[in-house]
Amino acid sequence: MIKTEKQYNAACSRIEELLKVVGNDTPADDKDFIELDLLSDLVADYEEAHSPVKEPELADVIKLRMYEMGINQTKLSELLGVSPSRVSEYLTGKSEPTLQVARNISRKLNISASVVLGV
C-alpha cells in the first residue's frame, strides 16, 4: 500500500522505467511484468483514494458538446426549445434545466442522464 506522496512519486518513476522494458509480448511470469502489474495496482489505489475523478459539471459538458457539434447558443436554444437567455443561464450555472429540458439535453446532445441530473 502506498501511504505517502513520496512513495507514490517513486512508484510512478519505477513504472516509467518498467514500461520501457515490458511490452505486449512479455510473458506474464516475467519479474518485470509482475512488478509493473503490482505497482500499477498500488498507484491506481492511491490515486483513487487521493485524487478521485469527479463527474463533470453540466455546463462544461454542454459547452464541450456544443463545440463538438459546431453549434452556438442560439442554435442550441432552438434545438432544446428554450430561449437563448435560458441557455445562457444553464451555461453560467445560474439556472438548472427543468425535467423536460434535461431530457432534451440528454437525448439531443447525447449527454448521460446522470450528468444532466447531477447524480
DSSP 56-115: PPHHHHHHHHHHHHT--HHHHHHHHTS-HHHHHHHHHTS----HHHHHHHHHHTT--HHH
The helix/strand count (H/E) of the chain reads as 7, 0
pLDDT class of 116 with cuts at 50, 70, 90: confident
Separation of alpha carbons 77 and 80, rounded Å = 5
What are the pLDDT digits (tens) for 32-65? 999 999 999 999 999 999 988 777 888 999 999 9
What are the pLDDT digits (tens) for 62-78? 999 999 999 999 999 99
Q: Are 15 and 36 in contact (CB under 8 A)?
A: yes
Residue 105: its pLDDT value, please? 94
Asked if CATH classification 3.20.20.60 holds for the domain at 58-117, the reply, yes or no, is no
* Distance linking the first and last C-alpha atoms of the chain: 31
Q: What is the pTM of this model?
A: 0.59
Q: How far is CA 90 from the centre of its chain?
A: 20
Give start-end residues of each CATH 1.10.260.40 domain in the chain. 58-117
